[in-house]
Structure 1
């Protein structure tokens, strides 16, 4: 059994991939990397602070149900 594909060669040859226009400078790369890492460290600090407040029982902004066993 033979299959034939009907395609327009002009459309197929004009297909282009998305590529960056210019090389990103090292300083821009470092700035983006620092922002990305900073977001992670800030969220880690927030999670640690929330965990500490829950463990001490001084949390005012986070409600949860305690189970006594």
Structure 2
């Protein structure tokens, strides 16, 4: 016979939600940091092929 599960406490639910939100926050911070380093050209782990202006003209 099926038995209903116990209800998760509010504090446990809040802790889990905050952990989930914090993971997203740090992923966004890392992505922004990588984008900044790529745009300034100071990236050491991500290589972008530079196009010369003479080739475009």
Structure 2 length-normalised TM:
0.79
Bigger radius of gyration: 1
Of 46, 49, 52 in structure 2, the residue corresponding to residue 65 of structure 1 is: 49
1:4 corresponds in structure 2 to none
Alignment coverage as a number of residue pairs: 53
Output the CA distance in 1 between the equivalents of 2:32 and 2:43: 13
1:49 corresponds in structure 2 to 33
1:9-34 CA-to-partner distances (Å, cap 9, x unmatched) read xxxxx8x6xx8611000011000100
Greater helix fraction, Structure 1 or Structure 2: 2
- If asked which structure has higher relative contact order (CA below 8 Å, sep 6+), I would say 2
Unaligned runs of 5+ in 1: 1-13
RMSD (CA atoms): 2.0
Unaligned runs of 5+ in 2: none
